[in-house]
Amino acid sequence: MNNETAKEILSAYRPNGQDATDPSFREALEQAERDPELRAWFERERQRDQAIASLIGQHPVHGNNKQALLAMVKVAQPLRLKTFPWRWLALAACAVFGFGLIGLRYFNSSPSPTVPMSVASGLPTRLAGWADGISTLDHPSTNVAEIQAWLKNTGAPSPVTLPKSLADIPPLGCERIPTTDGVAVSVICFMDQGHLVHLFVLNGAANLPQGYPDHSWVSAHGWNSYVWKDGNQVFALVSKASPKDLTGLVT
Amino acid sequence: MTFDEHFKELVDRWYEPLCRFAYSLSRNDSEAKDLTQNAFLKWARQGRGLRDSARAKTWLFSVVNNEFLDQVRHRSRHPCTELSEDNSATSPSIRANNDPVGQDLDSKLVWSALDRLEERFRAPLVLFYLQDHSYREIAEIMDVPIGTVMSRLRRAKDQLREIMDRNSSEKPKITPFEKEA
């Protein structure tokens, strides 16, 4: 091995010595022991590498997102249900529903971008089902304005206004909820005092059944929800936190 | 170990190094955080099978590298102008603890030299300097042969040295006025 080859090999030798036991460096290291010129070069190189490595390793990581990241994946835990064979079963079911919908649309061309009766009447169960089914977020972000813009750009319901108390809690991200009845639903997820809090947004409050209350508490399958109307939008704050804890977020 | 514990361990161990690597590629704090976050979320979706921590590490760094390259390709097809963060103004300059090579090494000098490095040299060199990866792992992350990594590291270091020498010679030297007798 000539010195040039040895230099090329030793260029990959980490200055912290982690490669000391790697046999592929042995010959080059032995040559550096024997050859004074190569040894001097290697010492200079290691010292320089150490200095640069320490500068890069000290580069500050601003605004650490670890907690948000861990929370986001907690949100995604129900995703386990989507692993094989459930994924294929779900796809098959979606296909059946999809064909059904296409058929329905073919015979009934009236658009359904609003909240139909079926959703409104079964709202507590639907909310619990949506909350249970939230998978890894479509758009992880800790910026509410950015989430609102993203939802708007993708044609999903985007909240025009948010409760003030929610504005103080950094969100985790958002997801568009797939529904089989054409209702556009989106959700923004927050983490508040160790509890996941989902804010569902549905367009079309005007189409809620006559007499549907402007504000209501509903509960189903362990999820507590506070539902309210604001303009033409329906909001639902859904969490496993107690109604008392949720109250603080909507006042 | 449960999935949650394994995930937390990975995040605790690799969040900062991944962020630094992503930053070295994008030179933008927000983009670096997004790339890092997406890599972990992708692991949560697809990489759960990688229980071996060493493989998970290589996988995460590969994802960051590939996603960055995808972004670069996308931007070259759809150019747009963004308000860039001036990171150089906010990043504090850190000085090397010991500077045995006699060069005035500080973090700004190093990062600006890395910026000017050829793209194909920058990623393997930063991975090398993060010191968490052997050259074999760097080859796996970059998806290139081992020999290519070795020669790229050598050439990258030579190129970095040249750029830093040039940059430091361009810096105006401050010399005190001599006192008049």
Each residue's pLDDT tens digit, A205-233? 666 666 677 788 888 888 888 888 888 88
CB contact under 8 A, B149 and A12: yes
Q: What are the residues of chain A with a beta carbon less than 8 Å away from any beta carbon of chain B? A: 7-9, 11-12, 14-16, 18-19, 22, 44-45, 47-66, 68-70, 72-74, 76-77, 79, 136-137, 140
| Average pLDDT of the residues in A184-199 | 85
| Average pLDDT of the residues in A10-17 | 93
Percent of chain B with pLDDT over 70: 74
CB contact under 8 A, A51 and B105: yes
Each residue's pLDDT tens digit, B49-87? 666 777 889 999 999 999 999 888 877 766 555 444 444
Pick the residue from chain A with its C-alpha nearest to B5.
A70
pLDDT for the residue A29? 94
CB contact under 8 A, A55 and B151: no
Q: Which residues of B touch A75 (CB under 8 A)?
A: none
Q: Which residues of A touch B23 (CB under 8 A)?
A: 59, 61
pLDDT-based confidence at A137, cuts 50/70/90?
A: confident
Each residue's pLDDT tens digit, A149-158? 999 999 899 9
Average pLDDT, chain A: 78
Buried b (16+ CB within 10 A) or exposed e, A140-167: bbbebeebbebbeeeebbbbeebbeebe
Global pTM value: 0.61
pLDDT for the residue B21? 94
Of B100, B110, B130, the CB nearest to A47: B100
pLDDT-based confidence at A114, cuts 50/70/90?
A: very low
- Number of alpha helices (DSSP H) and beta strands (DSSP E) in chain A: 10, 7
pLDDT for the residue A118? 45
Q: Tokens 């090397």 correspond to what residue? A: B96
| Average pLDDT of the residues in B45-50 | 67
Q: Return the higher-pLDDT residue of B89 and A119.
A: A119
Q: Return the higher-pLDDT residue of B11 and B77.
A: B11
Residues B25, B27, B31: CA angle, nearest 5 degrees:
85
Q: Tokens 């999935």 correspond to what residue? A: B3
Q: Which residues of A touch B33 (CB under 8 A)?
A: 63, 65
pLDDT for the residue B59? 93
CB contact under 8 A, B110 and A56: yes
Tokens of A193: 């005092």
pLDDT for the residue B94? 57
Residue A105 has pLDDT above 70, yes or no: no
Residue A106 has pLDDT above 60, yes or no: no
Dist. CA B108–CA B62, nearest whole Å: 26
Residue B17 has pLDDT above 80, yes or no: yes
Average pLDDT, chain B: 80
| Average pLDDT of the residues in B23-47 | 85
Each residue's pLDDT tens digit, B116-130? 998 889 999 999 999
**Which helix H or strand E contains A228, and what residues bound it?**
strand A223-230
The least confident of A3-17, A123-137, B3-17 is A123-137
Of B12, B24, B101, the CB nearest to A51: B101
pLDDT for the residue A231? 81
pLDDT for the residue A208? 67
Boundaries of every domain in chain A: 3-57, 66-250
* Å between A223 CA and nearest CA of chain B: 22
| Average pLDDT of the residues in A50-68 | 83
CB A113 within 8 A of CB A203: yes
Each residue's pLDDT tens digit, B103-116? 456 888 888 899 89
Q: SS3 of B175, please?
A: coil
Residue A166 has pLDDT above 50, yes or no: yes
**Position A50: which residue type?**
Q
A47's CB contacts (< 8 A; 6+ apart) are A15, B98, B100, B101
pLDDT-based confidence at B156, cuts 50/70/90?
A: very high
pLDDT for the residue A162? 82
Of B11, B96, B153, the CB nearest to A12: B153
| Average pLDDT of the residues in A73-79 | 56
* Å between B42 CA and nearest CA of chain A: 9
* Structural domain A66-250, CATH architecture: 2-Layer Sandwich (3.30)
Burial class (CB in 10 A: 0-12, 13-18, 19+), B64: buried
pLDDT for the residue A113? 40
Domains parsed from chain B with CATH numbers: 1-90 (no CATH), 100-172 (1.10.10.10)
pLDDT-based confidence at A204, cuts 50/70/90?
A: confident
pLDDT for the residue A163? 80
3-state DSSP helix/strand/coil % of chain A, to nearest 5: 50, 20, 35
CB contact under 8 A, B107 and A55: yes
